[in-house]
Structure 1
Amino acid sequence: MNYVAIDFETANSSRASACSLAAITVENGKIVRSAYSLIQPPVLKFDYWNTKIHGITVDDVVDKPTFAELWDRIRPHLEEKIVIAHNASFDISVLRSMLNEYGLPHPAFRYACTVDIARRVWTDLDNYKLPTLAKRFSIDFEHHNALHDARTCAMIALLARADTKASSFLHLTDMMEIAVREF
């Protein structure tokens, strides 16, 4: 199982307002790398509700690197990889918006959603939100902390593989008929 689990938090309703990012690298079925950074969004406008959800404020990011400044360190971890996220449509749209905001090239990778995986593997749950899955599998978890969210996402894929006896991430997505999309 080789993939990278990502999670973004945003400053406001704009997808081009990433204020934190985490990436968890899984190789051969083990978490081998964790990365987290606060990000200075292109516009320092934080909505009340976003801050209430994740606790990140303007003061936390005013002296942090921009996404463009971090991109050269992030890109090798995504390029030509399988990327996963919980509610991937959100995180992938944030990544795309941030790349577009700074005029950065889009890397080539494939991605899948762990919400879709969880729905197919564990059909008995009331919902498939990260807190529900973290509780079900006794994962230490602080919701809307990008590092915790990405780590929990990575663990969901590992647990799904174990429960289905899939030999790889792509075998898991094939077995469960989960879409793996091109970025």
Structure 2
Amino acid sequence: MSTTAAIPVTPRSAPAPALGARGAGEGLPGIVRGRSEVPAPAAYAVFDCETTGTTPGVDEIVSLAIVRLDAGAVETARYARIVRPSRPIPAEATLVHGIGDGDVADAPRFAEIAAEVLGLLDGAVFVAHNAGFDLAMLQHAFASAGIDYEPVAVACTLDAFRLLEPLADDHRLQSICARRGIALKGAHEALSDVLATAALLRVLLLDEGVAPETVQLDHAAYMRLRSRGDTRPASQPQIRRVFGMARSAGLLRRDGGVDRAQVVALVARVTGGDDVDSLTRAQVQDVYDALELLIEQRAAAAHA
């Protein structure tokens, strides 16, 4: 563990004013509080890990990095370790992050470094890009070591930038960094990724003036925004979701199956066309909205 200077970012000409709830009133898919509107946390712990796969509870961490920052976004500690999993690292995972069995042969098990890791996270907001995945992997690793870890709060930089830049081409770590003038060297290398994520955290705190731990992204609204005007064909999973929602909305035949005729009628009312299988990505979001309303009305009637 070592103390280092903060990684530089390219600021805008002036910080954004600290606001109250930003979001729906500005056409954004969710809300976030201004940094000055909520108490500042004691610290932020920015985390990234590379793993044997993508299934929390099954796959394991093979490398991790943490950068701890104070409430003013100044780096106070930096930590990076290779970790030896209990099983061989799959070749497809090595292709992503470059870590193979030979690299971890002399590395500690997670249980051997768990106390160090916990000390860096203690009392801090947990920050990651796609925080749900990283937190699940980390909590599983801690649980395997007999430790119950629950962060004081969670901030996901992926969700934060989806909220603030919903129409950007994509929200991969490297893409956001490129848009914000942040250098990212060695993508899918834990320390490089965590330093880049820490830089994005500073952008949120110092440039955007928001409290990232208060982000509440409305995923449905986010997808509607991104699909607006999108004339590409809806995917098969999107079409299947229409029929799944139709079941929940009660558009059923007497035998209990989904009534395609009712679905077609709803699609025609919403989009002006009756070919369910040829919906565009923009149209399918409108159909979702209509079905969601029917589901809510059905639930309200059931409780009346």
User: Which category describes the TM-score, using the shorter chain as reference length?
Assistant: 0.7 to 0.9
More strand by share: 1
Q: Does 1:132 align with 2:175?
A: yes
% same residue = 25
Q: 1:62 to 1:30 in 2, by over 3 A?
A: same
Question: Deviations 1:22-81 (Å, cap 9, x if unpaired)?
Answer: 0011112222221100001122x1112210010001110110111110011111111221
1:97-108 mapped onto 2 (5 Å cutoff): 97-108=140-151
Distance in 2 separating the partners of 1:91 and 1:12: 12
Q: Secondary structure at the match of 1:149?
A: helix
Q: Could you say which residue in structure 2 is the equivalent of 1:12?
A: 53
The equivalent of 1:113 in structure 2 is: 156
Q: Is the counterpart of residue 36 in structure 1 residue 77 in structure 2?
A: no
Tell me which residue corresponds to 2:91. Answer: 48
Structure 2 unaligned residues grouped into runs of 5+ = 1-39, 219-304
1:69 counterpart residue number: 112
Structure 1 unaligned regions, length at least 5: none
The 5-angstrom pairing of residues 170-181 of structure 1 reads 172-174=212-214, 176-177=215-216
Contact 1:24/1:33, CA 8 A, preserved across alignment = yes
Contact 1:39/1:64, CA 8 A, preserved across alignment: yes
Change (3 A) 1:128 1:74: same
**In the TM superposition, what is the alpha-carbon distance from 1:100 to its structure 2 partner?**
2.1
Question: Which residue, out of 41, 44, 58, partners 1:3?
Answer: 44
How many residues were matched structurally? 173
Matched residue SS, 1:50: helix
Structure showing greater Rg: 2
Output the CA distance in 2 between the equivalents of 1:57 and 1:92: 23
Match of 2:139 among 96, 101, 114: 96
- Partner SS for 1:65: coil
- Choose between structure 1 and 2 for higher RCO, CA contacts under 8 A separated by at least 6 residues: 1
